[in-house]
């Protein structure tokens, strides 16, 4: 059984004819260290979240050895003695929720300009061709919905939360999604109040009571649904990610499949999420065949080294060139046939 793991690098390099470096566009889905970058689109989103603005210098200008996840982890630690940090991190969730949605919407025009081409669509088509009867688990740490947009290629349409884990292609979004929310139970004024004003009330609330139940929306919803305030169902990328932002039945489907996985294709993932690595170590039945694709072979090998350090055994191969190279050279097809 095949598992495909997608990291931020997959959506960053999602259109082969519009590859990073050769085609600049402000709405390109960002890598982790770019989430607070100096782009006009990002600046427009930031104007809605004054509570995030004092953190921008820390989160935008990272040193060579720094990571965004580590800096966010430090900010969360400071909340123990400085309550404003908690309020700021709530605002960060809403910022990320809006930012990735805005990037998705704008990037859709790039995809349309390329005739609907995406690497996700090509990959799913190749998997369907090479493995016509296998159940395939697509595991992503990305908030965006580029995979959902590609799934009709293999006759899968996501219309509710249960659809993610039905059928042959099952999609597990471990860090949440731009179209998922959870209800805020803290009493707020919502009647006749616009979504951004409700968001500000949530950010300013002294205490927050948020439901554990996930809500699915066909479209992005800002702040409120009817009179129900909404909290973004996505995980802030901390260095130590202690929790997944994913419905329990999705997690059950993932855990239940691990004992059958014998092939893993990794695309644009750095393997820094320790809880998931430990889940793989405990759940995989034995050594796996694994192909790791990132922007260059050195980074792919770093991902492999982290996987091995976590106790994951297997036959590993590192490839550079990113998602586009994987598609253009038909490396996924070769991997599925046992030729890589």
Separation between Cα atoms, residue 177 and residue 247, nearest integer Å: 11
204 token code pair: 């300013």
* In the chain, domain spans: 1-175+235-340
Which of 165, 117, 115, 118 has its CA nearest to residue 139? 165
> Model pTM?
0.95
Residue 119: in which H helix or E strand, if any? Answer: helix 119-130
- Residue in the block written with tokens 């990328």: 237
Sequence-distant (6+) residues with CB within 8 A of 284 are: 258, 259, 261, 312
Q: What pLDDT, on the 0 to 100 scale, is given for residue 242? A: 62
* 253-309 pLDDT, tens digit each: 999 999 999 999 999 999 988 889 999 999 999 999 999 999 999 999 999 999 999
Separation between Cα atoms, residue 305 and residue 312, nearest integer Å: 10
Q: Which CA distances in Å does 336 have to 175, 200, 265?
A: 27, 49, 9
Separation between Cα atoms, residue 108 and residue 104, nearest integer Å: 6
* 26-51 pLDDT, tens digit each: 999 999 999 999 999 999 999 999 99
Strand partners, 216: 180
Q: What pLDDT, on the 0 to 100 scale, is given for residue 164? A: 97
Residue spans of the chain under pLDDT 50 = none
């Amino acid at each position: 059984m095949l598992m495909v793991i997608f990291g931020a690098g997959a959506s960053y390099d999602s259109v082969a004819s519009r590859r990073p470096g050769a085609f600049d566009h402000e709405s390109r889905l960002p890598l982790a260290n770019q989430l607070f970058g100096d782009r006009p689109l990002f600046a427009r989103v930031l104007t809605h979240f004054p509570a995030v603005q004092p953190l921008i210098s820390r989160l935008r200008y990272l040193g060579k050895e720094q990571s965004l996840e580590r800096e966010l982890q430090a900010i969360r630690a400071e909340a123990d003695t400085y309550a404003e940090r908690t309020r700021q991190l709530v605002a960060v969730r809403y910022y990320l929720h809006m930012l990735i949605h805005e990037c998705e919407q704008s990037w859709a025009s790039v995809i349309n300009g390329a005739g609907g081409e995406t690497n996700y669509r090509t990959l799913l088509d190749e998997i369907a061709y090479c493995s016509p009867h296998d159940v395939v688990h697509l595991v992503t740490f990305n908030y965006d919905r580029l995979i959902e947009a590609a799934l009709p290629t293999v006759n899968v349409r996501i219309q509710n939360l249960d659809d993610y884990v039905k059928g042959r292609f099952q999609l597990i979004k471990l860090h949440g999604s731009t179209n998922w929310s959870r209800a805020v139970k803290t009493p707020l004024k919502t009647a006749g109040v616009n979504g951004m004003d409700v968001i500000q009330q949530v950010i300013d609330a002294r205490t927050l009571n948020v439901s554990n139940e996930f809500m699915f929306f066909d479209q992005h919803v800002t702040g409120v649904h009817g009179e129900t305030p909404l909290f973004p169902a996505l995980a802030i990328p901390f260095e130590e990610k202690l929790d997944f932002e994913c419905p329990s039945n999705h997690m059950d489907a993932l855990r239940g499949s691990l004992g059958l996985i014998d092939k893993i294709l990794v695309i644009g993932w750095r393997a820094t999420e320790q809880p998931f690595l430990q889940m793989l170590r405990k759940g995989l039945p034995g050594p796996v065949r694994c192909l790791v694709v990132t922007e260059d072979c050195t980074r792919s090998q770093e991902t492999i080294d982290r996987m091995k350090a976590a106790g994951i055994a297997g036959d590993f191969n590192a490839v550079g060139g990113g998602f586009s190279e994987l598609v253009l050279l038909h490396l996924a097809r070769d991997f599925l046939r046992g030729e890589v």
